[in-house]
A and B are shown apart, each in its own frame.
Chain A
Amino acid sequence: AQKITQTQPGMFVQEKEAVTLDCTYDTSDPSYGLFWYKQPSSGEMIFLIYQGSYDQQNATEGRYSLNFQKARKSANLVISASQLGDSAMYFCAMREAVTGNQFYFGTGTSLTVIP
Chain B
Amino acid sequence: ETGVTQTPRHLVMGMTNKKSLKCEQHLGHNAMYWYKQSAKKPLELMFVYNFKEQTENNSVPSRFSPECPNSSHLFLHLHTLQPEDSALYLCASSQVGQRGGRETQYFGPGTRLLVL
CB-CB under 8 A from B92, the residues of chain A are: 45
Tell me if A7 counts as interface (CB < 8 A to partner B).
no
A100 CB-CB contact with B under 8 Å: yes
Q: Which residues of A have CB within 8 Å of B69?
A: none
B-side contacts of A103, CB under 8 Å: 33, 45, 105
Judged by a CB distance under 8 angstroms, whether B43 is at the interface is yes
Whether the Cβ atoms of A44 and B108 lie closer than 8 Å is: yes
Interface string of A7-39 (1 = CB under 8 A from B): 000000000000000000000010111010100
Instruction: Select the stretch in A68-76, A78-86, A89-97 that faces chain B.
Output: A89-97
**Bound Cα distance A32, B103 (Å):** 11
Knowing A4-B42, A47-B104, say if A100 contacts B96 (CB, 8 Å). Answer: yes
Q: Which of A4, A43, A104 contacts B112 (CB 8 A)?
A: A43
Interface residues on B, range: 20 to 34
A102 to B94 CA separation, bound complex (whole angstroms)? 11
Residues of B within 8 A of A95 (CB): 100
The distance in angstroms between the C-alpha atoms of A44 and B42, with both chains bound, is 15
A interface residues, Cβ below 8 angstroms from B = 4, 29, 31-33, 35, 37, 42-47, 50, 52-53, 91, 95-98, 100-108
18 examples of A-B residue contacts, CB within 8 angstroms:
A31-B100, A35-B105, A43-B109, A43-B112, A44-B108, A44-B109, A45-B92, A45-B107, A47-B104, A47-B105, A52-B102, A91-B43, A96-B100, A97-B99, A100-B50, A103-B105, A105-B42, A106-B42
